[in-house]
Structure 1
Amino acid sequence: MARFAHTMPFGAEIGDGGVRFRLWAPSAADVRLVVEGGPELPMERLDGGWHELTTDAARAGSRYAFRLPDGLQVPDPASRFQQDDVHGFSTVVDPRSYEWRNTAWKGRPWNETVLYELHVGTFSPEGTYEGLLRRLDHLAETGVTAVELLPLAECPGRRNWGYDGVMLFAPEAAYGRPEELKALVDAAHERGLMVFIDVVYNHFGPEGNYLHAYAGSFFTERHHTPWGAAINFDGSDARPVRDFYINNALYWLNEYRFDGIRFDAVHAIIDDSKPHILFELAERVRAEAQAQGREIHLVLENAANESRFLGRDQGGALRYDGQWNDDYHHAAHVLLTGESGGYYADFAAEPLRMLGRSLAEGYIFQGEKSEFEGHPRGEPSTHLPPAAMVNFLQNHDQIGNRAFGDRLATLAPEEGLRALLAVTLLAPQTPMLFMGEEWGARTPFQFFVDFHGELADAVREGRRKEFGSFKEFQDPEMRARIPDPNADETFQRSHLDWSEKDKPENARMLSFVRGLLRLRAGDMAPVLARAMPGGRYRLWDRSGLAVEWPLQGGGTLRLLANLGDAPISDAERSGGRALFETHAGSRAEGQLPAWSAGFHLVD
């Protein structure tokens, strides 16, 4: 048994002399500590805008807040728990109260990673950490190796995707208490599963962020993001801001024993200083992980396709292990559905060629102009190993940002979906599934929040206006059918239906996916671990795709696929040992069947 804690330079820290409270409030002349049911105590103002007090008037479980000079009472931005939502009292938490069972766990190497993204509130009927824990065996049996949780930072209300979080250190109380989240991570490690957390460092949600009231320089008007003034990562007074986020990452990794972090939309993190905050943060994390002998993995979402963050040396990733490859998703989605609206327009003309380039080289846009965005996008990625790209056919964004949250199982032919799943799950890139995808779930995943009043109206109308440019939503009556994000029914519709997986067609898909992942972890694992940069691709006939990846030590891994709905010539076949074929033993001589894929090892 062991107990873990991350000692933070701010917030509430339990020590021998009581509880030390520390708040960065450079805009406030004085701050008072409010302990519920107890005294209101003045805090000492220190240099640099800090306010501090150590007192025995509080203990583990005490609820507290800070009083500003104008009388406004605010929660602690570094609160470890907000049991009464974002406007209520914060709770003093003793992180050492939880005894960890699986203390020998050090993680798993990146090349074993198979990600499974899920939303805690809709994954299980209970919508809790405990409800997820009860289904960890299903995930382990499926063959995923890393559970990736959508953001847990406390949000306003009881339902939210997580990207409106404002209390970055407080795991969402709607899902359970901090010790229940720790028990979930502990149980995952017991089953050999890594656990990743998604964090949002580019903005705060629209409700419940009080930093403007006492720490105005946390934000800057020098830069702007889609959410307004940017977070101040590069001003002369940015050190406390940078430390806030670096400590948040270390907190999740050290105190909750997460194995990895996914960083949301880092293209919206603007930092003109050196080192960039993403570089400094990763270097701090890497140093601590090395000192602890742990395997820690960092993953980016970066629409700018900046390969500079993914650099490697002989020991592996220097900073970030991987990036979500939206380019791959968009090309695959167009191939499967024929859709060409919105950002899919950039991929509609040559989706097969683009998919081939993504599999061989990483990004599709490596500096070319995006007609949809109106400017060049991306940096060269051909020097990166395939595993630096996280490939997927579905995720929360690509499903939930559709008007009705449709899943691919309702949009694409089953045979096409199976072929692209084989490509995604067996290629040398790092694969990711979205919850329920393993059985071909048809339940939607829709956009939901729990706002009220004018904010709720603005979100509802903004959502419908967003789709007004799509031809199918030109009619106001059609736009009115788009689900209200604030309605509880929208949230309820987004829950997985676990009975669905036992239906014959879903059971077949689950068996198929489990077979692919067994193969990936078994016979194909030594081959995939040797995949190097320098992949090549070629097309033939109407829908033939061949991709080759050189292998360290010699040899080639080859994908041969027919990603169309009619058979084509098998002229590209040139020997090699078959590792997997979707239509093994049933294809006509000299032909590749429609929607087929095979991987071969060539000496």
Structure 2
Amino acid sequence: MKRTSFVSCLLLLLATFVPHAATAAAQDDNVEWTGISHIAWLDRDPPCPTDGAAFTVRFQAYRNDLTTARLNVDDGSATWVAASLTGTRGPYAVWSAQVPATASATLSYYIELTDGADTDYLSVGGMTSDPPVDGGFALDFATLEHAPVGATPLPGGGTVFKVWSPTRTTAHVRGEFNGWGTGDPLTKVGEHFVGRVADAAAGQKYKYYFQNAYWNTDARAKSLDPSDNYNALIVDPHGYAWQADDFDVPPFEEMIVYQLHVGTFAGRNDPYGTAPFPSRYADVAARAAHLAELGVNVVMLNPVTEFPGDYSAGYNPVTQWAPEWKYGTPDDLKQMVDTLHAHGIAVILDIVWNHFSYTDNYLWNYDGTQIYYDDPAVATPWGDQADLDRDAVRDYYADSALLWLDEYRLDGFRMDATSYMNIAPQEASGWSLMQRLNDEMDNRCADKIALAEQLPDNSWVTRPTNMGGAGFDAQYYDAFTDQLRSEIFAAAAGDPEMWRVRAIIIGNGAYLEGRHVVNYLELHDEAWPSSGGQRIVKTIDTTAPHDDDWAKGRVKL
């Protein structure tokens, strides 16, 4: 392959490891709680039931775990609704139940799960051995407070909007559907504003307007148009028709990972055809067969969450919810993932949770108050960190991960600069947020992977959460990289100490060896000039175009 890009073909050598402890189950009179999951805003269809209409509830358990399951539905009188096995995904069985239409203004449900002689329950408060007393998963058809946060188009037309704004007293949604006027006020329900707009449809632009003074982009917008004042777009979460429904993540001991920057992947020195600059999700999809031919079975994307401008490595996000618009639409990204899956290639996303961009930061001073940041803000070298002590801010991050895993069918994450996730004064909150990510993946996505860019190495990052660790499957092994580079340069003088290479391959004790480390030689920091790193071939051969055969040979060795 001949292609010049700043991440032109970086193969990570993954140590053998088993991420998120994928678990098999059997019908053995024991419901496996660790595999039971129902997240209401993701697992209802439609996501926001209205007018008492019938809707579907989905939940998952480990394959072969349950013998029967049913829902207790209470709309003033309690009834039981049988659930049935409707599909599989990875190690999970997917169950579904149809909640019938009701004339009641409110409704709640909980889930009964049975494995032979063992019966347990799932409700809004979690798993219990006895019937729950927490009221269940509640729906209010009058207030629509059960709507997901963000913009949710309805199957019969219209859209429900919900936005977090704990201290403001008035809010409107203004957009193309109402001539950008103030004809659609939202109703305050707890810390949120909620409203249903009959004429709002997928593809239309909108913004929120607080206190008749403050315009704001939807914090959870699934699509943005930075060229039009960061207006949000309504997105239909079910608008894309997936083709590769039977994809399984490759065995983890067989992973060959290709780090890929969408914007520079295609077009330059490209035998597969021209592409615009920056290149797009569609250009990656068009070259999926080439990646498969290389032997790649995992693509790790540099961040594709929206960033300022059109050209960036991606580490200056303005949101965690919307994909970069210059690369294409949300459906274009889904089509790229779908195509890679069809070629046997998993997709991991690099996520940046430790800071937001200094520029175009539309969460700053949101709704005219500082609800997303501390005052003064917690600083990092790259931008201010969000207020991780607030429940709603932590939800913003954790829910975005579920969005990428579920709606975009991604296969895991690489978290950027985890050492900056637990910095003063919110060390505990940042650490618990990483634990939450990994606990939710353990529960819902045990077949998927979570990697940490932890520099310097720290065994606590890969310790299980029940031991106080952050719970990542593996972390970048900085010691391996440093030692290997050192011996490559020492070899130039004819004196490499190979026992040091052997020692670093063996590892550095519990949770910094074997399955808990990612051994690599070069990544984007070595390829991107402004990061301060440098590729080894350039270090050895300092004269452009840095293509000396001896230098390349040292790197290959």
Q: TM-score, normalised by structure 1?
A: 0.58
CA 1:85/1:353 → structure 2, altered by over 3 Å: closer, same or farther?
farther
Is 1:47 equivalent to 2:187 in the alignment? no
Q: Is the 8 A contact 2:173 2:185 kept in 1?
A: yes
Could you list the per-position Cα deviations for residues 407-456 of structure 1 after superposition, in whole angstroms to 9, with x for gaps in the alignment? 33333379xxxxxxxxxxxxxxxxxxxxxxxxxxx989xxxxxxxxxxxx
Listed as ranges, the matches of 1:89-104 within 5 Å are 89-104=231-246
Letter in 2 for 1:42: P
Aligned to 2:335: 183
Residues 382-416 of structure 1 deviation map (CA, whole Å, 9 limit, x = unaligned): 455413211221111122155797533333379xx
**Distance in 2 between residues matched to 1:83 and 1:330, nearest whole Å:** 42
Match of 1:63 in 2: 205
Q: Is residue 2:371 matched to residue 1:217?
A: yes
Within-5 A mapping of 1:438-449: none
Rounded Cα–Cα distance in structure 2 between residues aligned with 1:338 and 1:178: 48
- Pairing 1:2-41 to 2, within 5 Å after superposition: 9-16=148-155, 18-36=158-176, 38=178, 39-40=181-182, 41=184
Cα distance, 1:596–1:144 mapped onto 2, change above 3 Å:
closer
Change (3 A) 1:177 1:596: closer
Bigger relative contact order, structure 1 or 2 (CA pairs below 8 A, ≥6 apart): 2
Residue 204 of structure 1 and its aligned partner are, at CA, apart by 0.5
- 1:361 maps to a residue whose letter is G
Q: Secondary structure at the match of 2:207?
A: strand
- How far is the alpha carbon of 1:311 from its aligned partner? 3.0
Partner residue, 1:400: 528
Q: Deviations over 1:168-190 (max 9, x none)?
A: 21111111111111111111111
Distance apart, 1:303 and its partner CA: 1.4
Q: Distance in 1 between matches of 2:520 and 2:526?
A: 10
Which residue of the other structure, out of 193, 198, 222, is the alignment partner of 2:350?
Answer: 198
Confirm or deny: 8 A CA contact 1:28 1:69 kept in the other structure: yes
- Quickly say closer, same or farther: Cα 1:24–1:318, change in 2 above 3 A: closer
Choose from 407, 412, 434 the match for 1:278: 434
Give 2:481's aligned amino acid: H
Partner in structure 2 of residue 168 of structure 1: 320
SS at match of 1:218: coil
Q: Give the superposition deviation at 1:5.
A: 6.4
- Displacement of 1:228 in angstroms is 5.7
**Counterpart of 2:364 in 1: which secondary structure?**
helix
Greater helix share, 1 or 2?
A: 1
The residue matched to 2:484 in structure 1 has which SS? helix
Checking the alignment, whether the CA contact within 8 Å between 1:102 and 1:186 is kept in structure 2 is: yes
- Does 2:407 match 1:251? no
Amino acid at match of 1:29: T
Counterparts in 2 of 1:27 and 1:265: CA distance versus 1, 3 Å: farther
Letter in 1 for 2:292: A
CA distance in 1, matches of 2:162, 2:288: 38
Kindly indicate whether the alpha-carbon contact (under 8 Å) linking 2:186 and 2:194 is maintained by their aligned counterparts in 1. Answer: yes
| Alignment partner, residue 365 of structure 1 | none
Q: Give the drift of 1:350.
A: 9.7
Deviation of 1:258 after TM superposition, in Å, equals 0.6
**Aligned counterparts of 1:388 and 1:273: Cα–Cα separation in 2:** 23
Moved more, 399-408 or 139-148: 399-408
Equivalent AA in structure 2 for residue 392 of structure 1:
Y
The 1:336/1:85 distance shift into structure 2, 3 A limit, reads farther
Residue ranges of structure 2 left out of the alignment (5+ in a row): 1-40, 48-146, 268-274
After superposition, the C-alpha distances for 1:89-141 in whole angstroms (9 at most, x for unaligned) are 11101021111111111322322222111110001012111111122222212
Letter of the 1:65 counterpart: K
1:120 and 1:443 map into 2 onto residues whose CA distance is 24
Question: Which residue identity lines up with residue 506 of structure 2 in the other structure?
Answer: A
Partner secondary structure for residue 336 of structure 1: helix
Provide the residue aligned with 1:528 in structure 2: none
Q: Deviation at 1:352?
A: 6.1
Q: Does 1:387 align with 2:529?
A: no
Cα distance in 2 for partners of 1:404, 1:286 equals: 35
What is the 5 A alignment of 1:177-576? Answer: 177-214=329-366, 216-220=370-374, 221=376, 223-227=378-382, 229-234=384-389, 238-270=390-422, 271-273=426-428, 276-290=432-446, 295-311=447-463, 319-337=471-489, 355-362=501-508, 381-401=509-529, 406-412=534-540
Equivalenced residue count is 387
Q: 2:266 matched to which residue of 1?
A: 124
Distance apart, 1:296 and its partner CA: 0.8
**Alpha-carbon RMSD:** 3.5
In structure 2, the CA distance between the partners of 1:230 and 1:97, relative to structure 1 (3 Å rule), is: closer
**Per-residue CA shift, 1:57-114, capped at 9, x if unaligned?**
2011111111133633221111111134483211101021111111111322322222
Where 1:53 maps in the other structure, the secondary structure is strand
User: Structure 1, residues 466-501: CA drift from partner, whole Å, max 9, x if none?
Assistant: xxxxxxxxxxxxxxxxxxxxxxxxxxxxxxxxxx9x
Q: Deviations over 1:261-310 (max 9, x none)?
A: 111111111244477111112111221225xxxx2111111114222232
TM-score normalised over the length of structure 2: 0.62
Q: Secondary structure at the residue paired with 1:247?
A: helix
Return the offset for 1:248: 0.6
Corresponding residue SS for 1:45: strand
* C-alpha distance after superposition, 1:335-378 (max 9, x if no partner): 33479xxxxxxxxx99866544421214xxxxxxxxxxxxxxxx
